[in-house]
Chain A
């Protein structure tokens, strides 16, 4: 299995632009998580899905952030409009079975908003 696949690996964009991050979870995994990692705040859970349904989005910082999971093999995290303080590494992770089993992380997307 190729593992959790995220794209792009790096994204540099100007403030105000829309940014879309993509994630393909491991086949057969039924839970998907979006995390944001910064030096200041560490690893923060933004939102998670179970069987394609958003369960908890309380970690989403603002209305500028939105996430979708149209099917079991694809999820997006969108930021519109982007701001410099959104600069971070965004990780997608998936688990099989219950929410608290071993999490498999993607390589992450390093986002820089200038």
Chain B
């Protein structure tokens, strides 16, 4: 079945440093979504990428979808304490429903 792997599992950064999380699928994806879950909260949708090689930006966040549509990344520039949380990628392939990655837990040290 479809598998979505995400690395790293944990990341500690100093406030102001950059952060990147990577997502890899065992199969070609039709789209990929990114979610953020604050501590004690629920996953909240951030963005969806559909096209091969697509790049989207939301303020300090940059999302990329690989050319082969099997990998994706989320990059945060100059992290802030409000960025703390777990970031999940979720891919959709032939099975159509989303498969979530294991998430990257980001800690930002002030």
Contact = CB atoms under 8 A, between A and B. Distances in A.
Interface of A: 33, 35, 42-43, 45, 48, 55-56, 91, 93, 98-108
- Name, among A45, A56, A103, A104, the residue most crowded by chain B CB atoms within 10 Å (CB to CB): A103
Nearest to A107: B42
Given A43-B88, A99-B92, A100-B30, A105 B102 contact: no
B31 to A, nearest CB: 6
B96 interface: yes
B42 A103 contact: no
- Name, among B43, B90, B97, the residue most crowded by chain A CB atoms within 10 Å (CB to CB): B97
A106 B42 contact: yes
Contact of B99 (A45, A91, A108): A45
B42 A100 contact: no
Range, interface on chain B: 20 to 34
Q: Which 9 A-B pairs have the closest CB atoms?
A: A100-B92, A105-B42, A43-B100, A42-B102, A99-B97, A99-B96, A102-B45, A105-B43, A108-B42
A39 B90 CA distance: 18
Given A48-B97, A102-B33, A108-B42, A42 B92 contact: no
B52 interface: no
A44 to B, nearest CB: 8
A93 to B, nearest CB: 8
Given A100-B30, A106-B42, A43 B103 contact: yes
Given A45-B97, A91-B42, A100 B31 contact: yes
Contacts of A93: 43
A102 B35 CA distance: 10
Contacts of A105: 42-44
